[in-house]
Amino acid sequence: MATIHLVPGDITEQSADAIVNAANSSLLGGGGVDGAIHRKGGPEILAECRALRASRYGEGLPTGRAVATTAGRLPARWVIHTVGPVWSPAEDRSGQLASCYRESLRVARELGARTVAFPAISTGVYGWPVDDGARIALATVREETEGDDAFEEIRFVLFGPQAYDAFTAAL
Ligand code: AR6
């Protein structure tokens, strides 16, 4: 079973086999963690994202799915891009949020990534309440890695005290 670590900080500075990007379905970049990853990782990441759009994801990557590219200049081997759901007070989209974590781990397993770093998907621009986002993230990762030797460490890299406190409470 993998060790789950919570660390405060910037995911673009993390050494890991794979880091996960809270992307959008265009795969062509944006703000938040997505902007930081493309900015620091360099143009190679965007080039692979464009190629994925041209080949497999002409309509964009669906919400809850994940796909890997190079990590460019970042201190990781791969970036796994996943598309979180936009928070809705009217509709329960928690299954889609759980799917982001599950699918990212499935892609990581296929790659042979043993250490994987996640941000708090959907809890920024997409407006998901961070306490609830933390609970879903941790429950899903626990469930997916229990009795599984594929991973050594799953790290949540939490930007700002609010996210760090929410994950600490949920853990
Ligand atoms: N390292 C770790 N976490 C970060 C970093 C960083 N460098 N920067 C922000 N966060 P967000 P979303 C935290 O908005 O809600 C983009 O425009 C942030 O504080 O990055 O899934 C995409 O292109 C928050 O806790 O992603 C999409 O359009 C968490 O990462 C949209 O935003 C997620 O915030 C996706 O929105």
For the stretch 147-163, pLDDT in tens is 889 999 999 999 999 99
Give 85: exposed, middle or buried? Use CB within 10 Å, 0-12, 13-18, 19+: buried
CA dist., res. 71 & res. 101, Å (int): 19
Percentage with pLDDT > 70 across the chain = 100
Domain range annotation of the chain: 3-170
The rounded distance, in Å, linking the Cα atoms of 31 and 29 is: 7
Q: What is the ipTM of this complex?
A: 0.98
Per-residue model confidence as pLDDT tens digits over 20-79: 999 999 999 999 999 999 999 999 999 999 999 999 999 999 999 999 999 999 999 999
Residue with CA closest to ligand 1 atom 27: 24
Q: Is 66 touching ligand 1 by the criterion CB < 6 Å?
A: no
Q: Ligand 1 atom 34: the closest Cα is on which residue?
A: 124
Cβ of residue 137 lying under 6 Å from some atom of ligand 1: no
Q: Which pLDDT score, from 0 to 100, does residue 148 have?
A: 87
What fold is seen in the domain 3-170? Leucine Aminopeptidase, subunit E; domain 1 (3.40.220)
Cα distances from 70 to residues 1, 111, 130, in angstroms, run 26, 11, 29
Our CA angle for 149, 131, 28, nearest 5°, is 70
Q: Do 154 and 118 contact (CB within 8 A), yes or no?
A: yes
